[in-house]
Amino acid sequence: MRKKAGGKSAKAKEPAWVRASISFPADIHATLEELAKQKKVSLAWVVRDAAEKYIADQGTVRGK
């Protein structure tokens, strides 16, 4: 268990976000960057959006 300030114990919480490092072929990366620029969002947003749509298409239950 981690301790809070003041010495009180608290259960460690799972982070809401997990950082991942992903490598793309140059042409796919360029396309993703262009999509992000057109939509005025980050490349990370485009990748998260695509991943969410892929999961939905696969019929996978989120979090399982």
Residues whose CB is less than 8 angstroms from the CB of residue 11 and which lie 6 or more positions away in sequence, other chains included? 1, 2
What is residue 14's predicted lDDT score, i.e. its pLDDT? 73
The one-letter code for the residue type at 56 is A
Q: How confident is the model at residue 64 (pLDDT cuts 50, 70, 90)?
A: low
Query: Would you say the pTM of this structure is higher than 0.85?
Result: no
What is residue 59's predicted lDDT score, i.e. its pLDDT? 85
Maximum pairwise Cα distance, the chain: 52
Q: How confident is the model at residue 63 (pLDDT cuts 50, 70, 90)?
A: low
- pLDDT tens digit string along 4-53? 555 555 567 777 889 999 999 999 999 999 999 999 999 999 999 999 99
